[in-house]
Amino acid sequence: MDQNDKPELSERQRNTFRTGREPEAVYLPKGTEVYKFADSRQVQNNSFSEYWSPVKPVTLKDGTKTGGLENDLQRCNGDPGTLRDRQRFRAAVSYDWDTKMDQLVVAKLPEGQWAYVGQPKHQPYHKDAPNVEMIGGDHQLVLPSARRDQYEVVRTEGPLPGSVAEQRDANEQAASKRAQSAGAAKDKMRVISGGKQAEKEPGHEK
């Protein structure tokens, strides 16, 4: 694609970004690598949507740097399953969309492409929890003019186990355990704090 021929986002694509801040157009040269956790059915058919994450961090005009695959993996101790779960929430991929995200895909752009970079908008967690949202947070790349079969896949990992429902159940069990651990820690701190306070109050000396 000619660098001077910058495409516009469709209304559907624009609505995936957070409101209040325009996504920034960035030209990605030929050979740029992008990644995502895709449904293995898409991988088999070599058919991908226009939503990706950068393999190498992208620097925006204000100096903000996006994440990158290596840094994202390091945050997850190199575990693809943990990265998949993180990406689902940080990219706000709702469980309602029935996307397994079970296969890591790294693809190369066979020609230069304009990408729009910004944070994804909040999305519903699941229809059974209408008051809960996935807030996103990472930067997404949207390639508005790329064809679904245009990407050159250079690396795949997986597929990872677990249906969408099984992933959601596992996440909720883990969240429940974290909440219980946090509650136990708060109770312990109250006991410790209360004990110190009692020692300082007059009339408690033995």
pLDDT at 200 over 50: no
Res 145: pLDDT: 87
pTM of structure: 0.80
Whole-number percent of the chain with pLDDT over 70:
88
CB of 86 within 8 A of CB of 53?
Answer: no
**Residue range 154-175: mean pLDDT, rounded:** 89
Chain segment 8-25, per-residue pLDDT in tens: 999 999 999 998 889 999
Q: What CA–CA distance (Å, rounded) separates 107 from 69?
A: 12
**Residue range 75-98: mean pLDDT, rounded:** 92
Reading the block at residue 96, the tokens are: 């309602």
Reading the block at residue 201, the tokens are: 């109050």
Task: Give Cα 119 to chain centroid, integer Å.
Answer: 10
DSSP β-bridge partners for residue 140: 118
Q: What CA–CA distance (Å, rounded) separates 9 from 110?
A: 21
93 secondary structure, DSSP code: -
**Residue range 113-136: mean pLDDT, rounded:** 92
CB of 46 within 8 A of CB of 146?
Answer: no
Res 192: pLDDT: 66
Res 195: pLDDT: 52
Res 193: pLDDT: 59
Residue with tokens 């040269």: 29
pLDDT at 96 over 50: yes
Burial class, 127, CB count within 10 angstroms (exposed 0-12 / middle 13-18 / buried 19+): exposed
What is the rounded average pLDDT for all residues in the chain? 87
